[in-house]
């Protein structure tokens, strides 16, 4: 039986596949993926394989450790401590206490528990269109899910504020006070929560929201107001950390702010399931309330070896600087395409975290949703993989494995140029 048919029988029906003609990928190497007949695809989408699919050093570290020991954190072992030490060295003081789990969803769950334990409060402020994970509570705090198809809306303790999207949001690029106006929504929300606020969570560059770079001056105002109202500031760095944005190692550093809790996932294990939360000793002390925290697989010995090696590779191969250079070239060339293709309304991003927003009319900014879908499928036929995102699914989402290089960028832009030239806006 064909793989797709077997999958329909055996896996949950709401697990989606990418592309109208799904690809069957059987092998990966750095920024390339291969299908069952050996066709090579340039991967411009998978941010999980951060240092590259099957990076030989990560593979070797996992293979070596799984043959020696793989057990949990109730036994003493140096590997997870070496990883924690190296990880916290990338963060400003006092972000120095680590918890290890198995996914971004679990890490965000834990971040919420930390915030609630520290504040003795429940209510949370979140950006509209955000996604923070697939568990029951993460759906509750993810407007992208609970306001979308099949969603049941937000619980009463969740407070949504507008996504600070300078291209499509309620205050736009032409408004010099946009950052302050967006921040005012948070300030108003937290002031009304008198004693009930546990915190504020946002991605440092909202991804599902459409590859958004927050306006300068937004997070400073927001974090200040949240703290004044007694809340904890949580940065979801699941997509944006580890040098991807080129200019900085962590997304929040771009805005010169410091969160109280940092949430990590996807890239830190390069595909091995590792999630992590790093917080301050004071928040960790509030959480240490008599109830043990334990995750069976979180922080296991193999995860320690993999996590440590991934971070070594990011630093030794200078991938942040590489992302900055390649990203500058790619973003510049994509901007260049705007002169030739009216359909491109906006190009934005930082490093190898890039969004290309397609619109049917640059003046009204009408989303070119079905066109974006067609482009992604045509690019797949050209053996270049990326996806769409944003509230209207009209933003081409480009966030490749970090070894993605200058030649790859050139090929992506040339191919996209050709694909866009063959379409006419409908
Ligand atoms: C920003 C963000 N946070 C959290 C998650 C959840 O991570 P996971 O799928 O590893 O549970 C995701 C996953 O896409 C994400 O993009």
Q: Which residues fall within 8 angstroms of residue 333, CB to CB, at 6 or more apart?
A: 409, 410, 413
Whole-angstrom Cα distance, residue 155 to residue 162?
17
H-type helices in 288-318, by residue range? 301-316
Domain identity same for 268 and 123: yes
Whole-angstrom Cα distance, residue 209 to residue 217?
19
Q: Which residue in this structure is represented by tokens 């949950």? A: 12
- Give 3-state DSSP helix, strand, coil % of the chain, rounded to 5: 40, 20, 45
Whole-angstrom Cα distance, residue 171 to residue 149?
27
Q: What is the CATH number of the domain that holds 215?
A: 3.40.640.10
Q: Which residue in this structure is represented by tokens 């949580």? A: 234
Whole-angstrom Cα distance, residue 102 to residue 296?
9
Among 291, 316, 341, identify where a domain stops: 316
Domain identity same for 178 and 279: yes
Around ligand 1, the residues with Cβ closer than 6 Å are 103-105, 108, 131-134, 203, 207, 236, 238-239, 265
**DSSP output for 37-67:** T--EEEESS-SSSTT-BT-HHHHHHHHHHHT
What are 116-170's pLDDT values in tens digits? 999 999 999 999 999 999 999 999 999 999 999 999 999 999 999 999 999 999 9
Q: Which atom of ligand 1 is nearest to the CA of 240?
A: 1
Q: Which residue in this structure is represented by tokens 């009204």? A: 364
Diameter of the chain by CA atoms? Answer: 64
CA 136 to ligand 1 center in whole angstroms: 13
Domain identity same for 230 and 300: yes
Residue minimizing CA distance to atom 3 of ligand 1: 132
Domain identity same for 327 and 293: no
Domain identity same for 24 and 97: no
CA 333 to ligand 1 center in whole angstroms: 29
What are 225-279's pLDDT values in tens digits? 999 999 999 999 999 999 999 999 999 999 999 999 999 999 999 999 999 999 9
Q: What is the 3-state secondary structure (H, E, C) of 324-365?
A: HHHHHHHHHHHHHHCCCCCCEEEEEEECCEEEEEEEEECCCC
Residue 82: give the domain boundaries: 56-316
Q: What is the CATH number of the domain that holds 341?
A: 3.90.1150.10
Domain identity same for 65 and 153: yes
Give me the phi and psi of 399, to 5 degrees please. -155, 75
Domain identity same for 32 and 68: no
Domain identity same for 285 and 346: no
Is the pLDDT at 426 greater than 60? The verdict is no
CA 176 to ligand 1 center in whole angstroms: 32
Domain identity same for 20 and 70: no
Domain identity same for 308 and 323: no
The alpha carbons of the chain give a radius of gyration, in whole angstroms, of: 21
Among 289, 316, 343, identify where a domain stops: 316
Q: What percent of the chain has pLDDT over 90?
A: 98
Domain identity same for 44 and 111: no
Domain identity same for 195 and 135: yes
Domain count for the chain, please give it: 2
Among 316, 348, 375, identify where a domain stops: 316
What are 42-82's pLDDT values in tens digits? 999 999 999 999 999 999 999 999 999 999 999 999 999 99
């Amino acid at each position: 039986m064909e793989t797709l048919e077997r999958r329909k029988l055996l896996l949950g029906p709401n697990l989606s596949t990418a592309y109208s003609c799904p690809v069957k990928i059987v092998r990966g190497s750095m920024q390339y993926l291969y299908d069952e007949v050996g066709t090579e695809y340039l991967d411009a989408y998978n941010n999980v394989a951060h240092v590259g699919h099957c990076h030989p050093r990560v593979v070797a570290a996992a293979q070596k450790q799984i043959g020696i020991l793989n057990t949990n954190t109730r036994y003493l072992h140096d590997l997870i401590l070496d990883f924690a030490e190296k990880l916290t060295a990338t963060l400003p003081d006092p972000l120095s206490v680590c918890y290890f789990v198995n996914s971004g969803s679990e890490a965000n769950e834990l971040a919420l528990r930390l915030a609630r334990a520290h504040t003795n409060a429940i209510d949370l402020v979140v950006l509209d269109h955000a996604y923070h994970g697939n568990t029951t509570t993460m759906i509750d705090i993810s407007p992208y899910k609970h306001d979308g198809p099949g969603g049941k809306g937000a619980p009463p303790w969740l407070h949504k504020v507008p996504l600070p999207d300078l291209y499509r949001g309620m205050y736009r690029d032409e408004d010099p006070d946009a950052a302050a106006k967006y921040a005012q929504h948070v300030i108003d929300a937290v002031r009304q929560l008198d004693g009930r606020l546990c915190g504020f969570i946002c991605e440092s560059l909202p991804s599902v929201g459409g590859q958004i770079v927050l306006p300068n001056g937004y997070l400073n105002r927001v974090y200040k107001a949240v703290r004044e109202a007694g809340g904890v500031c949580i940065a979801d760095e699941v997509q944006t950390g580890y040098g991807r944005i080129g200019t900085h190692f962590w997304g929040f550093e771009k805005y010169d702010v410091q969160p109280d809790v940092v949430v990590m996932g996807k890239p830190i294990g390069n595909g091995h399931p590792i999630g992590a939360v790093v917080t301050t000793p004071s928040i960790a002390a509030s959480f240490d309330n008599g109830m043990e925290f334990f995750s069976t697989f979180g922080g296991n010995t193999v995860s320690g070896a993999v996590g440590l090696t991934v971070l070594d590779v990011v630093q030794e191969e200078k991938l942040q600087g590489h992302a900055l250079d390649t990203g500058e070239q790619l973003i510049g060339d994509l901007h260049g395409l705007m002169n030739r293709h009216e359909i491109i309304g906006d190009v934005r991003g930082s490093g190898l975290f890039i969004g290309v927003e397609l619109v049917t009319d640059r003046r009204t900014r009408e989303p070119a949703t079905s066109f974006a879908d067609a482009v992604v499928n045509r690019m797949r036929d050209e053996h270049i993989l990326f996806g769409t995102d944003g509230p209207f699914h009209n933003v081409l989402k480009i966030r490749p494995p970090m070894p993605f290089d200058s030649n790859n960028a050139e090929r992506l832009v040339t191919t996209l140029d050709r694909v866009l030239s063959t379409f006419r806006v409908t």
